[in-house]
Chain A
Amino acid sequence: MVETARVIVDRLGKSYGGMPVLEDVSFSIGAGEFVSLVGPSGCGKSTALEIVGGLNSPDSGRIEIAGSPITGPRSQTGIIFQEASTLPWRTALNNVALALEMRGVGKAERHEAARRALAAVGLSGFERHYPSQLSGGMRQRVALARALTVEPDVILADEPFGALDEQTRLVVALELLSVVERTTASVLFVTHSIQEAVLLSDRVLIMGVRPGRIIDEVRIDIEGPRGPHLIGSRELSEYTDRIWQPLRAEAQKALEMQGPARP
């Protein structure tokens, strides 16, 4: 595994104001592998993703992607953020073309690439729509399309569907999966939804809370293509239970750390 790993995260440590957020976090992601990171709120999973994306720097440990150490943002890493990161004054097409525009790619070429990416996420015909005219799920598909235009070999997604309702969320998540399956991109997907993680991933990494560290790892071996038919299936719920076991204690711990609820 390690020989073919595209992303290597080695003994990552990070603390904020003396408070350890990440401690000794190590994992790797193979080429074309879909790996989810689940854990309770505040376990540092978003921080870990930002460090892999070069947006945040670790106190200790190192990241290597495609053989090169990471010290800052990298052009072949596509990031999909938690909140809508579409620019409201740009049309869907111009939002998708943004990443290429910032690289100085000419108008005709970047628009062509943006049109293809929009088609890939099922948004053909919405090129001229503004973000305010699109639903939350569509806006995140625009963000996905933008990440695809740079032909990424690594895609980082930080709870991209967190703001969507459960039904939309699973549908859009499966769309994301079908899009990235057509590429050889490695995916690191941060989520707090165990069901979502199981549905999409080849492997699920389970994080504990404060300090954030990886407490368990579950390989998801589901036969055949992933799709909505799995929702509610026995296979899925077995994996969900399996992941929930180690998480339950951590979730309890996270709750206690936040202090008692005030009346």
Chain B
Amino acid sequence: MLALRAWQWTLLLLALAALVLEILPRVGVVSRATLLPFSEMVVAAVQLLLRPDFYTDGVLPSLLAILIAFAIAAVAGVAIGYLIWRVRPLRQAIDPYLTAYYALPIFALYPALIAIWGQGAGPITALAALFAVVAVITNAMNGFDSAPPIIGKLARSMQVPERTYFLKFFLPYAMPYILIGLRLAFLYSLLSVLAAEFLLSSAGLGHFIQIAYVRFDMAEMYGAILVVFGLAILAERLITLAVRKLTWVGDLT
């Protein structure tokens, strides 16, 4: 029993959780109006996955917003991170407050963003990018800090041009940290897009769940939640694997 491997333990715990979720509503401990038996959630999830409008109105708009927000956060994060890291007064002014950023209820800006862009994908994407970008900034700055001064001397002794130094010496040193930032940025984008869609939107996975909830369609709501959880975990695993593969194993240059 104790000789189980990690993944076997994971499966066992998942099975246990499913069993509890199955039994609680069936024996009446929790009302079926509140919680559906797990098997019915799975059936609803599968049914959703077979519906074309689930993709056109749910998955695709969300995915598009997540990817755009992530791309903005990635590019802007590394650029802003380098700027702050490089310009000393900027760094002294901003650095102490960067860690406090995630204590800000950034979602409170949502009404203001709607006032600017109107309801739709614009404010959702902007909010997600705003939420994700700081994770890239802080990690990129850690990465730039990690490059030892000796490589500057090494590059100068080889008469390496500034641009080559940046691309082939400096940036690769920061890359493992930047990748950590990118991983967080993707997850923050995902989280932020779904949460914002839930609040106020006419499309996306978050909106899909919200509508089902308003209609008291418990099957569709739990089915969609299950799909979202599955997608989020899958995305996280894929990124973690990709980061592990890219981090200095193999020639990054």
Contact = CB atoms under 8 A, between A and B. Distances in A.
Interface of A: 50, 53-55, 72-73, 75, 77, 79, 81-85, 87-91, 94, 98-99, 102-103, 130
Interface of B: 148, 150-151, 153-154, 156-160, 164, 169, 172-173, 175, 248-253
A177 B57 CA distance: 72
Contacts of A75: 159
A14 to B, nearest CB: 16
Contacts of A103: 158
Contact of A55 (B153, B169, B175): B153
A55 B248 contact: no
Contacts of B159: 72-73, 75, 102
A27 B101 CA distance: 57
B148 A89 contact: no
B196 to A, nearest CB: 38
A201 B177 CA distance: 43
Contact of A79 (B151, B157, B248, B253): B157
A76 to B, nearest CB: 11
Given A81-B150, A90-B253, A55 B172 contact: no
A87 B158 contact: no
A102 B172 contact: no
Given A83-B148, A94-B251, A130-B248, A89 B172 contact: yes
9 contacts: A55-B157, A79-B157, A81-B150, A84-B150, A87-B172, A89-B250, A91-B251, A99-B158, A103-B158
Given A94-B251, A102-B164, A130-B248, A87 B157 contact: no
Contacts of A73: 156-159
A102 B157 contact: no
A98 B148 contact: no
Contact of B150 (A83, A89, A91, A94): A83
Contacts of B151: 85, 87
A5 B13 CA distance: 77
A90 B156 contact: no
B248 to A, nearest CB: 4
Contacts, number: 53
Contacts of B251: 89-91, 94
Query: Which of B158, B164, B253: most chain A CB closer than 10 A?
Result: B158
Contacts of B154: 79, 81, 85
Given A89-B251, A90-B251, A102 B160 contact: yes
Contacts of A90: 251, 253
B153 A88 contact: no
A81 B153 contact: yes
Given A81-B150, A89-B250, 18 more contacts: A50-B153, A55-B157, A73-B157, A75-B159, A81-B153, A81-B154, A82-B150, A85-B151, A85-B153, A85-B154, A87-B151, A87-B169, A87-B172, A89-B172, A89-B251, A90-B253, A99-B158, A130-B249
Contacts of B249: 130
Contacts of B158: 73, 98-99, 102-103
Nearest to A131: B248
Contacts of A84: 150
B169 to A, nearest CB: 7
Nearest to A158: B153
A94 B156 CA distance: 18
Contacts of B153: 50, 55, 79, 81, 85
Contacts of A91: 251
A85 B251 CA distance: 17
Contacts of B175: 89
A114 B251 CA distance: 17
A98 B154 CA distance: 10
A162 B25 CA distance: 69
B130 to A, nearest CB: 32
Nearest to A98: B158
A75 B248 CA distance: 29
Contacts of B164: 102
B157 A53 contact: yes
A157 to B, nearest CB: 12
A85 B157 CA distance: 12
Contacts of B173: 87-88
Contacts of A72: 159
Contacts of B172: 87, 89
Nearest to B160: A102
A72 B159 CA distance: 9
A89 B157 contact: no
B64 to A, nearest CB: 33
A75 B250 CA distance: 29
Query: Which of B148, B154, B164, B172: most chain A CB closer than 10 A?
Result: B154
